[in-house]
């Protein structure tokens, strides 16, 4: 399986890019190679595809279902009653819809936390992108539930679903206020034994921080550190309510950060300290969160909002520079999950997209990265390639009409069940 992209812009030069067996094999001027597929790069730039490091993909089914509410009303009266009705079929279809939107907006990887992970894995496998999938672990301090989840996790990870190597399974304790200490310690040890990544929501709201202080006598980050939970395989989402000392702890433990700016703003959760994390040298990726708190999965839009949010957080227009933001949304995401992608270089995994340099929002092009971060949205992506395979070309994804049709029908059936 090979692809030759002819005469495409890469760092202001026009080159040919030859992809073989999922990696960039050769990049250079006028390559003299044959390929199974040859596509034109005329008026296109090639860039790494996007890595969405925190979402709940199947929540596309809840896009616009409930907005503009206080957290309690939103969750109790709307989101949870809807989610309680979701079957594996619903989740499969919701995840396919999410994957479609991601492919259309240039994203080829997402980190997911939800239920019915087999259905998620199947959807991802079929759609051709990558994912790190975790089943939400929520025991609500109930030891019986804890045991149940531990048994389920053992069974699952000892014999995981047989799917493409593009899919990895990781652990997903929901948060410190929904998972008991005993369970967190079990997860810590199990993940260590199995070499698993762990993603968890941490320090998202002021309430979480205050409750933690009341109940545990310390902050969420320090609580996790005290029980030895934090290490280089941990991906912490949100991480808003932290001080300098805690950022230092996170840095020392080499923890990875999933920054979800839109969700943080939409739910009025607080201000992510972008500068402090970056300056301290922590690896920060960018995520869209789920469609109930965003309400899309467009990483190009998310980059802009991340940049704007960073400037506000520090009260300076020099924060959240476009190059830094772009790296967070591409290479950093790959690095966090140990994928050798995120750059257009020989030997790297061939996850990439082509950008339409004639799209009105890309003209003029004084600075490609600035245009991508500040001016463009997902529709500037014309071609999406994951693992050396074309998933979208000329903005068309095979079978997209069917996915849209099925998703619409499925949502109707969920509403009928409510």
Which stretches of the chain bind a second copy, using CB under 8 A? 60-65, 67-71, 74, 97, 100-101, 104, 262, 265-268, 291, 294-296, 298, 301, 304-305, 307-309, 311-312, 314-322, 358, 360-361, 363-367, 370-371, 374-379, 400-401, 404, 407-408, 411
Which of 40, 367 has the CB closer to a second copy? 367
Q: In angstroms, give the least distance from the CB of 198 to a second copy.
A: 28
Which of 45, 187 has the CB closer to a second copy? 45
Main-chain phi, psi angles of 39, to 5 degrees: -125, 150
Q: In angstroms, give the least distance from the CB of 58 to a second copy.
A: 12
Q: In angstroms, give the least distance from the CB of 335 to a second copy.
A: 23
Please state, as a whole number, how many other Cβ atoms lie within 10 Å of the Cβ of residue 405. 10
The answer to whether residues 313 and 284 touch, using CB atoms and an 8 Å cutoff, is no
Q: In angstroms, give the least distance from the CB of 72 to a second copy.
A: 10
Which of 238, 256 has the CB closer to a second copy? 238
Give the position of tokens 């990483």: 299
Q: Work out whether strand 44-48 and strand 352-356 pair parallel, antiparallel, or are unpaired.
A: antiparallel
Helix or strand holding residue 249 (H, E): helix 244-252
Which of 13, 401 has the CB closer to a second copy? 401
Q: In angstroms, give the least distance from the CB of 308 to a second copy.
A: 4
Q: In angstroms, give the least distance from the CB of 363 to a second copy.
A: 5
Residues in the chain: 418
Which of 336, 407 has the CB closer to a second copy? 407
**DSSP for 175-187, written as a single string:** BTTTS-HHHHHHH
Q: Work out whether strand 37-40 and strand 2-10 pair parallel, antiparallel, or are unpaired.
A: parallel
Q: Alpha helices, DSSP H only, in 105-180?
A: 117-127, 143-158
Which of 224, 265 has the CB closer to a second copy? 265
Give the position of tokens 């190059």: 323
> Cα–Cα distance between 172 and 152 in angstroms, integer?
13
Q: In angstroms, give the least distance from the CB of 414 to a second copy.
A: 9
Which of 195, 360 has the CB closer to a second copy? 360
**DSSP for 212-225, written as a single string:** HHHHHSS-HHHHHH
Q: In angstroms, give the least distance from the CB of 215 to a second copy.
A: 24
Checking 23-32 for CB contacts under 8 A at 24+ apart, the result is: 23/347, 23/348, 23/349, 23/350, 23/388, 24/344, 24/345, 24/346, 24/347, 24/348, 24/349, 24/350, 24/352, 25/346, 26/346, 27/344, 27/345, 27/346, 31/4
Which of 219, 319 has the CB closer to a second copy? 319
């Amino acid at each position: 399986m090979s692809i030759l992209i002819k005469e495409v812009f890469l760092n202001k030069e026009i080159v040919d890019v030859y992809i073989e067996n999922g990696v960039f094999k050769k990049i250079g001027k006028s390559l003299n190679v044959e390929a199974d597929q040859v596509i034109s790069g005329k008026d296109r730039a090639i860039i790494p595809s996007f890595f969405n490091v925190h979402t709940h993909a199947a929540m596309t089914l809840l896009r616009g279902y409930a907005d503009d509410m206080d957290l309690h009303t939103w969750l109790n009266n709307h989101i949870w009653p809807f989610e309680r009705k979701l079957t594996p079929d619903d989740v499969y279809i919701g995840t396919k819809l999410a994957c479609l939107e991601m492919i259309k907006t240039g994203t080829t990887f997402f980190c997911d936390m939800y239920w019915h992970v087999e259905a998620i894995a199947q959807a991802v496998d079929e759609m051709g992108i990558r994912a790190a999938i975790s089943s939400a672990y929520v025991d609500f301090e109930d030891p019986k539930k804890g045991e149940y989840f531990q048994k389920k996790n053992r069974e699952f990870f000892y014999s995981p679903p047989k799917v493409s190597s593009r899919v990895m399974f990781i652990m997903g304790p929901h948060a410190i206020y929904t998972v008991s200490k005993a369970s967190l310690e079990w997860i810590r040890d199990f993940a260590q034994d199995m070499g698993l990544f762990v993603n968890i929501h941490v320090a998202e709201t002021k309430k979480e921080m205050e409750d933690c202080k009341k109940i545990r006598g310390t902050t969420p980050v320090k609580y996790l550190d005290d029980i030895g939970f934090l290490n280089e395989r941990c991906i912490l989402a949100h991480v808003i309510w932290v001080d300098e000392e805690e950022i230092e702890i996170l840095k020392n433990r080499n923890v990875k950060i999933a920054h979800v700016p839109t969700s943080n703003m939409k739910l009025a959760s607080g201000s992510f300290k972008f500068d402090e994390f970056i300056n301290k040298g922590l690896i920060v990726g960018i995520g869209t969160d789920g469609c109930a708190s965003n309400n899309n999965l467009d990483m190009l839009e998310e980059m802009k909002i991340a940049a704007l949010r960073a400037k506000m957080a520090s009260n300076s227009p020099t924060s959240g520079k476009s190059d830094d933001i772009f790296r967070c949304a591409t290479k950093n995401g790959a690095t966090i999950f140990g994928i050798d992608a995120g750059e257009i270089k020989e030997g790297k995994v061939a996850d990439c997209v082509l950008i339409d340099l004639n799209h009105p929002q890309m003209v003029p092009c004084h600075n490609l990265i600035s245009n991508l971060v500040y001016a463009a949205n997902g529709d500037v992506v014309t071609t999406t390639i994951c693992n050396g395979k074309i998933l979208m070309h000329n903005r068309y994804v095979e079978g997209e009409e069917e996915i849209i049709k099925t998703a619409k029908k499925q949502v109707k059936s969920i509403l009928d069940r409510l």
